[in-house]
Amino acid sequence: MSDSSRVPLATQIARQFTWQVASGRIAPGSHLPVIAELADELEVSVHTVRAAYRQLADDGIVAFSRGSRTRVLGYDRSRASVRNDVPPQLQHRGDGARLHPTTTPTFSKP
């Protein structure tokens, strides 16, 4: 994550989780970190993490509801591609072969 990026922090967080779910590093049925704990770890506002989780919920990647853990549903490339959030490494080539990510996204403090 980067404070100097033109991409809002919430979007950067959401994209990293999207990447991890799409690449299989986070499995459907697992839970994301508690909002307050992730905000503390990343040294960002809980509002920023909540906005990231809301983006993930809007894309159908997680089930997000107040008072319960945020559960990973899975990755639907067709929904993400509508928002142009599909990382190039996870898009299909013309021949239908799937490209695999070359790096593992990590969270770091801004």
Helix (H) or strand (E) holding 41: helix 35-42
Walk along the chain (110 residues) and give the pLDDT tens digit of each residue: 666 678 889 999 999 999 999 999 999 999 999 999 999 999 999 999 999 999 999 999 999 777 788 999 998 776 654 454 545 444 443 434 333 333 334 555 44
For residue 102, the model assigns a pLDDT of 36
Other C-beta atoms closer than 10 Å to the C-beta of 31 total: 13
C-alpha–C-alpha distance, residues 85 and 62, integer Å: 15
Residues 52 and 41 sit within 8 Å (Cβ to Cβ): no
For residue 1, the model assigns a pLDDT of 67
For residue 3, the model assigns a pLDDT of 67
For residue 107, the model assigns a pLDDT of 53
